[in-house]
Amino acid sequence: MHSHSFKFKRFGTYLSLALVTLALAGATHMRTEKLPAGDPDNGGLTTPDGFETVVVADSTGLARHIVVNSNGDIYIKLRYFGKGQGGGTVALRDTNGDGKADIIRNFGNYQDHSSLANGIAIRNGYLYYSSSLAVYRSKLIPGQLLPDEKTELILQDDHEHGAHWHITKPMAFDDQGNMYVPFGAPSDACQDMVNSPGGKPGSPGINPCPDLEKHGGIWKFSADKPNQTQSDGTLYATGLRSIVGMRWNPADKGLYAVVHGRDNLHRLFPELFSGWQSAVLPSEEFVKVTQGTNVGWPYYYYDQMKGKKMLNPEYGGDGKKEAEGAKYQKPLIGFPGHWAPNDVLFYQGNQFPERYKNGAFIAFHGSTNRAPYPQAGYFVCFVPFKDGKPSGDWEVFADGFAGVDPIINVSDAQFRPMGLAEGPDGSLYITDSRKGKVWRIMFKGDKKGFGTSQLASMEKHKQLAHIRTPDEVADNLDIKTKELGQRIYNTYCTPCHQRNGLGDGSRFPPLAGSEWVTGNKKQLIEVVANGLEGPIQVGGKPYNDLMPKHDFLKHEEMAQVLTYIRKNFGNDADAISVSDVQRVLGN
């Protein structure tokens, strides 16, 4: 009898184990079933085998950063919404589980002061979001898509200058109640802000750089205290020119940022740097930030090919001098110049294969100023991580956003990857800044079998024109350019307005069909010579960025380049002569 009892208990144990196994298998199956089907064309993207992509929404607006709530609701910070006159946020909800947002609602009763509105995050039941000059938050209401209408001001940028270059306010939160916010540099390399914020060719940088007192760094604030200004915070790290993407990594409790390097090496110092050097340098830096970090701006830049910090030409550098560069913090990875890393995300989920756990995804928005070479970036990469540092080479994770290769002008790119977020089920969400397309990438393959073979096909993407290092001669688009006006345009104007004169679709306005170009000659000459700052309308659309002075151009050069833009890009206005320039600017 005892023997039979033992057998029965043992059988019951087997039965229980079997039921548990079935339950676990069922749970796994249910988790897979809960994931929506990927789009037949994979959302237009290329990803490693085993991943599927579904387009959540096609056109939410000029989307920047994104966050996904624990119930799957999506919130996106917009550059503009409506008629382009106001800032805002958009909320999305999928009510039937097909992966497509069927409720899309704009909200936000706050002002966006320029086109560089950026960050968004969820913390302790609040939705935090930024304009270029402030960080706000609104209380999330359980079960309700839109947050409370009350907008609470957490941080105000109270600098007298108002908006300027590199003024994004992404925020990151640690687990001790602190909020980290960058204050970007108002110049490229600490040039004279009054006379030449964009830098005149050959002009020196100010030494010591006064910008570093209140700019070019990350400040630490309370995450919950309202109405703070910069003086309420403490300087956490410095020497950081421009940060759009920043994230707290819960795995090692560290702050990380992707930093935009400086521009215009060839334009400002043509005798020291070639167009090719200016296209691929300096590096975009992926850095770990700790109290007291100094990355070296404006005195130094990082050369990813040399693996060293180099002295900036404004301070006596020539592309070869290291000087005291070794005393500044080097990046974890130095990516090629101008790729525009605009977000970074540390993957915490379990949906993807184990190798992705705690690794970093980086969204490269794509370059605007690589002329005379094709533009680069426009993809999402992955960096494997272990013990707080990269454990292998970076990989191409998602590509195909641009839809073309090579990318000659920014406007040629169909989409530009911008923001990254992780959903509660471990899906990866990516936003596009051109139309506001939103992708959701899911893994449905064999986790245990995922490895080298699945990654090999993505490795080939590194040979495409928008990722590989361009050939100095074969890829130079200006070799056959003989017209003086066009050569001047390609040197000084294409970084913003592009080779086709269409601008970048957001910050920099088009010259094609622009009333500013084809209209009053005097106004056009004055704008190019004296620069332009503040909100303007071009073709009925708002723009609010800084155009630097070009008063260093000789009168003949000014006439040639303005004639070129008035007679190209579909424009058909009369020429501007040297005498026209002299009448406006004097002899």
Better-predicted residue by pLDDT, 115 or 210: 210
Q: Kindly indicate the confidence band of residue 195, based on its pLDDT and cuts at 50, 70 and 90.
A: low
User: Over the Cα atoms of the chain, what is R_g?
Assistant: 26
Residue 446: count other Cβ atoms within 10 Å of its Cβ. Answer: 12
460 sits in which H/E element? none
pLDDT of 23 reads 38
Domain with CATH 2.120.10.30 in the chain: 43-462
Helix 578-585 to helix 555-566 angle (10° resolution) is: 120
Domain with CATH 1.10.760.10 in the chain: 484-585
Homologous superfamily (CATH) of 484-585 is: Cytochrome c-like domain (1.10.760.10)
Round to whole Å and give the CA distance between 151 and 39: 37
Q: Name the percent of the chain lying above pLDDT 90.
A: 70
Assess whether pLDDT exceeds 70 at residue 163.
Answer: no
| CATH of span 43-462 | 2.120.10.30
pLDDT of 98 reads 97
Q: Name the percent of the chain lying above pLDDT 70.
A: 91
pLDDT of 485 reads 87
Round to whole Å and give the CA distance between 148 and 127: 10
Total-model pTM: 0.86
Cis before residue 353, ω within 30 degrees of 0?
no
Round to whole Å and give the CA distance between 102 and 105: 10
Whether 192 contacts 206, CB under 8 Å: yes
Could you tell me the two tokens for 97?
């589980």
Least-confidence region, from 29-38, 147-156, 201-210, 322-331: 29-38
Round to whole Å and give the CA distance between 411 and 402: 9
The per-residue b/e assignment along 44-63, b for 16 or more CB within 10 angstroms, e otherwise, is ebbbbebbbbbbbbeebbbb
Averaged over 314-339, what is the pLDDT?
97
The per-residue b/e assignment along 496-523, b for 16 or more CB within 10 angstroms, e otherwise, is bbbbbbbbbbbbbbbbbebebbbeebee
pLDDT of 329 reads 97
Mean of the per-residue pLDDT values for the chain? 89
Assess whether pLDDT exceeds 70 at residue 86.
Answer: no
Q: In this structure, what are the phi and psi dihedrals at residue 25, rounded to the nearest 5 degrees?
A: -60, -40
Q: Whose CA is closest to 259, among 321, 166, 165? A: 166
Averaged over 290-294, what is the pLDDT?
98
Assess whether pLDDT exceeds 50 at residue 244.
Answer: yes
Q: Name the residue type at position 508.
A: F
The model's pLDDT over 55-65, given as tens digits with 9 standing for 90+, comes to 999 999 999 99
The per-residue b/e assignment along 543-578, b for 16 or more CB within 10 angstroms, e otherwise, is bbbbbbbbeebebebbbbbbbbbbbbbebeeeebee
Least-confidence region, from 90-99, 188-197, 369-378, 418-427: 188-197
pLDDT of 10 reads 39
pLDDT of 8 reads 34
